[in-house]
Structure 1
Amino acid sequence: MRLSNSELNVMEVIWNEKYINERNEIQALEVAKVLEKELGWKRNTTYTVLKKLIDKGAIERYYPNYTIKPLVSKEEIAITETERLIDGIFKGSAINYLSTFLSTKKLSSKDIEEIKKMFDKLDKA
């Protein structure tokens, strides 16, 4: 599932543990309030994007109180977007993607150690 930047802004609020309740839900009005504060969006803008997310199957809406629940996780979207990026820009080459990423980022020693651990796990699998 591909999401626009506006849709990702809304999903970030919906995925954020700071805003959701114990049932992994949030009211649309609360989403609108957060985005008004953070991005200056009007309520209608948020509701329009919420409708698009419902149509795409990314979220579900419940009544009363226009309660929202995510149907896709942040990880699912991250995987989809990463695969699209690798396939599109890097012609399917994960090596070229990693090379570009690593050459443009300043990594801390801790980051490097974490990456080494990930590669060690891959090597043992």
Structure 2
Amino acid sequence: MNLSDSELIVLEELWKGDCLDENGEITALELSKILNEKYNFSKSSSYTFINRLVEKNALSRRYPNYKIKPVIKREDLGNNQIQKIIDTVYKGSFVKLFSAFVNNKKITNTELEEMKDIISSIEIKDE
């Protein structure tokens, strides 16, 4: 799923959750007000981004009151984007992605230990 920076801003506000009601929803009008206050998005821009996210199945919309709700979770979007990068940039090799990541960043001892813990907890798949 390809998302623009503005669409990601909309999702980020929803993922925070503090603007959502007890059903995990918010009206498009309420969200557009928040986006205007925080990011200076016009009402029409907000609705454009919301509608694009509905079309991409990242948000659900229901009537009355044009209530919207995030459908995609941050983790799922992140996993999809990572897999796309692995497939396209690193030709399907997670090892090449991992190598590029760790070789281009200074890693603290704490981060290294955390990564070792993660690696040691991975279940090995049959090839």
TM-score using structure 1 length: 0.85
Report the more deviating stretch, 91-100 or 24-33.
Answer: 24-33
Q: Which residue matches 2:15? A: 15
* Structure 1, unaligned runs of 5 or more: none
* Structure 2, unaligned runs of 5 or more: none
Q: Which residue matches 1:71? A: 71
Task: Write the deviation string for residues 28-82 of structure 1: whole angstroms up to 9, x where unpaired.
Answer: 2232223223322111101001111111221111223321111211111111111
Say whether the 8 Å CA contact 1:2–1:80 is kept in structure 2. no
Local SS of the residue matching 2:122:
helix
Report the more deviating stretch, 10-19 or 101-110.
Answer: 101-110
Say whether the 8 Å CA contact 1:32–1:41 is kept in structure 2. yes
Local SS of the residue matching 1:122:
coil
TM-score using structure 2 length: 0.84
C-alpha deviation, 1:124, in angstroms: 6.4
C-alpha deviation, 1:4, in angstroms: 2.6
Percent identity of the aligned residues? 34
Number of residue pairs matched by the alignment = 125
CA distance in 2, matches of 1:68, 1:119: 38
Which of structure 1's runs of 4+ aligned residues deviate more than 6 A? Answer: none
C-alpha deviation, 1:123, in angstroms: 5.2
Local SS of the residue matching 2:61:
strand
Judging changes above 3 Å, is the alpha-carbon distance between structure 1 residues 73 and 103 closer, same or farther for their aligned structure 2 residues? same
* 1:1-125 matches, cutoff 5 A: 1-122=1-122
C-alpha deviation, 1:91, in angstroms: 1.6
Local SS of the residue matching 1:2:
coil
RMSD: 2.0
**Higher RCO (C-alpha 8 Å, min separation 6):** 1
